[in-house]
């Protein structure tokens, strides 16, 4: 990609210096006392703690001083700044009356979002409650080393996909899908797949725009398509457990993700991204 270095987006919220951990809301002494009371009375007092144990407290440390960042990570910050601003500029043009900028939160290891506590292992995600995208930049190392998806446009695709979820939120698609999932739990996974594939297509629309503006270089499209294929549910399941279970898909197969990202790339129109009407394939 042809991108401009040395810029820092105003829509980035840098929390890389903040460290979070989860702790139980009761100490060891309290657990011992509850155990003793349970033995003496024959009543299981631990049951009273279950609601609290399901919601551990989050403690924060650090965050006040300078951020220790390698030259490679510093360049990634500049890169995601460029992609974020370029993607959001594209969507402001496409949806002038409806689009408002999302924030991008950079973090390490764990973060507290409007959707709750999250760890890096979850990968990048969008939270509709606070309209922010969250990413641990270390994910890009995993994308390359574990999934074999390298290149700057592969990295850009990941961020553009999350911005696609923001577009879904602003268009009212995301809340409607969540309501449908509650009404029809038996369709929850299929609806999740359709929403994720639509976000892939919306990411492709931004990719289409970069092609029109001569930002793409030779091999960029292939990098993006390879990234879409690399994180398909079937490929991830095969890597983790040696077998594939389509009924448990939440994001779509490699072929589906490639198909819909390519649709956005080639057609560049929101109306082409109706994954909810089209038969999945």
Among candidates 211, 82, 61, 236, which has minimal Cα distance to 148? 236
Which residues lie across from 125 on neighbouring strands?
Answer: 134
Q: Predicted confidence band at 28 (pLDDT cuts at 50, 70, 90)?
A: low
Domain boundary assignment for the chain = 22-62, 65-273
Residues 222-250, mean pLDDT to the nearest whole number: 94
Q: What is the pLDDT of residue 3?
A: 92
Q: Which of 58-62, 100-104, 273-277 has the highest mean pLDDT?
A: 100-104
Cα 172–Cα 163–Cα 125 angle in degrees, nearest 5:
95
- Mean pLDDT across the chain: 88
Q: Predicted confidence band at 97 (pLDDT cuts at 50, 70, 90)?
A: very high
pLDDT at 52 over 50: no
Burial 209-247 (b: 16+ CB within 10 A, else e): bbeeeebbeeebbebbbbbbbbbbbbbbbeeeeeeeeee
Four-CA torsion 212, 213, 214, 217, nearest 10 degrees: -80
pLDDT at 55 over 70: no
Place of tokens 């987006």: 9
What distance separates the 2 farthest-apart alpha carbons in the chain? Answer: 76
């Amino acid at each position: 990609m042809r991108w401009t270095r040395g810029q820092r987006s105003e829509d980035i919220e840098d929390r890389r210096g903040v460290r979070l951990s989860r702790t139980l809301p009761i100490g060891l002494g309290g657990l011992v006392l509850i155990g003793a009371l349970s033995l003496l009375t024959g009543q299981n007092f631990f049951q009273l703690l279950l609601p609290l144990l399901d919601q551990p407290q989050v403690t924060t440390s650090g965050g006040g001083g300078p951020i220790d960042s390698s030259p490679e990570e510093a360049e990634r910050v500049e890169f995601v700044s460029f992609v974020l601003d370029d993607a959001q500029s594209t969507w402001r043009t496409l949806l002038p009356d409806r689009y408002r900028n999302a924030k991008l939160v950079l973090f390490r290891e764990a973060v507290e979002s409007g959707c709750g506590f999250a760890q890096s292992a979850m990968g990048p995600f969008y939270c509709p409650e606070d309209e922010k995208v969250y990413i641990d930049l270390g994910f890009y190392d995993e994308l390359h080393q574990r999934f074999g998806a390298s290149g700057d446009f592969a990295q850009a695709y990941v961020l553009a996909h999350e911005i696609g979820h923001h577009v879904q939120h602003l268009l009212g698609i995301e809340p409607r899908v969540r309501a449908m999932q509650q009404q029809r739990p038996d369709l929850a996974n299929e609806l999740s797949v359709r929403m994720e594939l639509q976000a892939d297509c919306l990411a492709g629309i931004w990719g289409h725009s970069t092609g029109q503006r001569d930002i793409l270089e030779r091999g960029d499209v292939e990098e993006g398509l390879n990234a879409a294929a690399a994180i398909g549910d079937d490929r991830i399941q095969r890597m983790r457990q040696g077998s594939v279970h389509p009924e448990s898909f939440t994001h779509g197969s490699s072929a589906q993700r490639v198909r819909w990202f390519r649709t956005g790339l080639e057609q560049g129109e929101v109306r082409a991204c109706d994954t909810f009407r089209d038969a999945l394939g």
